[in-house]
Amino acid sequence: MTIKYLIVDDEPLAHELIKGFAKELPHLQLAHQCYNALEAIAYLQSNQVDLMFLDLNMPKLKGFDFLRTLNRPPKVIVTTAYKEFALEGYELQVADYLLKPYSFARFLKAIENAFPPKANTPVNAPIAQQEEQRQLFVKGDKQYHRLRTNEIIYIEAYGNYTKVYLPTGMILTHASVSYYAEKLGEPTFLRVHKSFLVAMDKIDRISGNRLFLGEYEVPIGQTYRQKVMGLIG
Higher pLDDT among residues 68 and 118, named by residue: 68
The average confidence (pLDDT) of the chain is 84
- Across 86-95, 133-142, 176-185, which has the greatest mean pLDDT? 176-185
62-80 residues labelled b (16+ CB within 10 A) or e (exposed): ebbebbeeeeebbbbbbbb
Cα 225 to Cα 223: distance, rounded to the nearest angstrom: 6
pLDDT above 90: residue 44 = yes
Report the share of the chain in percent with pLDDT over 90.
40
CATH 2.40.50.1020 correct for 127-232 = yes
pLDDT above 80: residue 199 = yes
How confident is the model at residue 231, as a pLDDT?
Answer: 64
Q: What class, spelled out in words, does domain 3-114 have in CATH?
A: alpha beta
Is this model's pTM higher than 0.85 or not?
A: no
- Sketch the domain layout of the chain as residue ranges: 3-114, 127-232
Model pLDDT for residues 131-151, shown as the tens digit of each residue: 434 677 777 777 777 788 889
CA angle, corner 50, sides to 44 and 54, nearest 5?
65
